[in-house]
Amino acid sequence: MINWKSLIAAALFASTGTTAAIGETVLRLDEVAVGELDPAKASDYADSILMFNVYDTLVLPTQGGPGHIGHLAESWSGEGNAYTFKLKEGVKFQSGNPLTADDVVFSLDRMKALGAGLSYLFGVVDSAEAVDASTVKFNLSSPYAPFVASLVRLPIVDKNAVMDNLADGEGDMKDWGQEYLSANGAGTGAYTVSSHNPQEETVLAKNADYFLGVGDAAPDTVRLRYGLEAATVRTLIAQGEHDIASQWLPPEVVQALAKDGAQLFTEAGTGAFYFKMNTTKAPLDDANCRLALASAFDYSTAVKMIAINDEISAGSPATGAIPVGMYGSNDASMVIKQDMAKAKEYLAACKYPAADMNIVVSWIAEVPLEERFALLMQSNFTELGIKSEIKKMPWALFAEQVAKPENTPHISQLFVNAVTGDPDTLLYGMYHSSTPGTWQSPEHLNDAQVDEHLEAGRTAASPEERAAAYGKLNARLMEIAPTIYGFDRQSVFAASNRVKAPALTDASQAFGLDGLGFSFRLMEMVE
């Protein structure tokens, strides 16, 4: 008699790609996005996980606290428009080539030339030069206080390996190695690339020659899969065939997994969930109307909707425009709350009659949770006598439409994070008048005071001055309400009991930068 249960289990096991050599440990996890392996193009969460494991950067955020420590850099100094970094000795790329200052210069030049991913972070850098084999100098066009923080997004690539693998393209640098780096790693990182299919799975292997060493308990192999359905992830974890689920599972699925014994990992975000209002389109071109909608929103219910249990949630109450803990943020006790009386006062001062309004609230098709928020918002607006329409939009269509104010919905729902951990990379791209029409900035805001405070935050000479500038920015944004600040974000991941991840479970070990908690060299596999 055929044992169908055994056959099905065997097939499922094989489909997860977990076959491994005896004694080899395998970490299995998933992400929803397509994985971009080229470090100069990395921008989203899946890309960041790959980048932080295959490549290294000059500095890293201090674990459990503010500031930065040297990583590939032994030390650095900066004054005015110039920063000089001394590289650690003895670091080698996965190819065996030694790390030199030329590799750092090449990595910057390559990122700026491609103009993709997070290259905009380095627009202020005029040039980089190799002073000697172990010293590199960055020359800035103007003072830029967050420069050191931005270097956590400058992965250093192996110049010689890339130059040996140039494909067809224009100019001396041809394709800058894009074809090669889209399928292969060329970093100094703790993990090497065994295989990469950006639509399905990336397989990484432990780098035994990593300059900091990799512990014996760290996973030997990592399998990062893309686009698994929530039901599939739940089944795989329950059957012991998956280790860490992505942060995008619906709360009720995470709740069910936790009840079944799964661990809950968290990564405190440097961002928030935003309801972004198109400030150029009537009636939201009137600040009083925007303030009315912001006052009417039911913040406490929104936070309850993302709670996993009494102790862990995917977010915490917002206190203002800047997430708690960042420069310029309000105290955690200053929670924004629904105030319908105030909402009606603002609505009375709005130049548009409520009866004539029809607010289009969009939600991203790939994030079903946003539909629930849209329905909550619709209910809140109905209490004010305002009609609204809910519109489902695939991400690609949304990103295309927000390029023009007239095509941008009245309200867009987005998670946005500070990609370097510094508020400049959260707020400048959202609100400065020079950056409208990106997926981050569907507000299309143009406010002189906001611009002034953002620029002061970039150029201030001390942390105290930066905090003051962002404090003023926070107050101004709350005054004109281009955005409804839903909640400060925290990512929650359901995990099996086969893995330990101190950077995701111990605040004293946390990096404060999205994705860096998934440094696999810092994890341990247990049986």
% of the chain with per-residue pLDDT over 70: 96
Query: What is the mean pLDDT of the segment spanning 25-47?
Result: 91
In this structure, the strands spanning 524-525 and 387-393 are unpaired
Is-same-fold flag (59-160; 267-490)? no
The answer for residues whose C-beta is within 8 angstroms of residue 170's C-beta and 6 or more apart is none
Q: Name the residue ranges covered by the structural domains of the chain.
A: 59-160, 267-490
pLDDT tens for 225-245 read 998 988 999 999 989 999 999
**Structure confidence by residue, pLDDT tens digits, 120-171:** 899 999 999 999 999 999 999 998 999 999 999 999 999 999 999 999 999 9
Instruction: Report residue 320 as tokens.
Output: 């203002």
Is 175 a residue whose pLDDT tops 60? yes
Q: Which fold has domain 59-160?
A: Dipeptide-binding Protein; domain 1 (3.90.76)
What b-and-e string marks burial along 481-505, b requiring 16 or more CB atoms within 10 Å of the CB? bbbbbbbbbbbbbbbbebbbbebbe
Alpha carbon 162 to chain centroid, angstroms: 27
Distance in angstroms (rounded) separating the CA atoms of residues 422 and 427: 9
Mean pLDDT of the chain: 93
Homologous superfamily of domain range 267-490 = Dipeptide-binding Protein; Domain 3 (3.10.105.10)
Task: Name the band, by pLDDT with cuts 50, 70 and 90, for residue 5.
Answer: very low
Reported as a pLDDT band with limits 50, 70 and 90, residue 6 is very low
Tens-digit pLDDT profile for residues 182-208: 999 999 999 999 999 998 999 999 999
Contact predicate 316/246, CB 8 Å: no
pLDDT at 250: 87
pLDDT value for 472: 98
pLDDT score for 290: 98
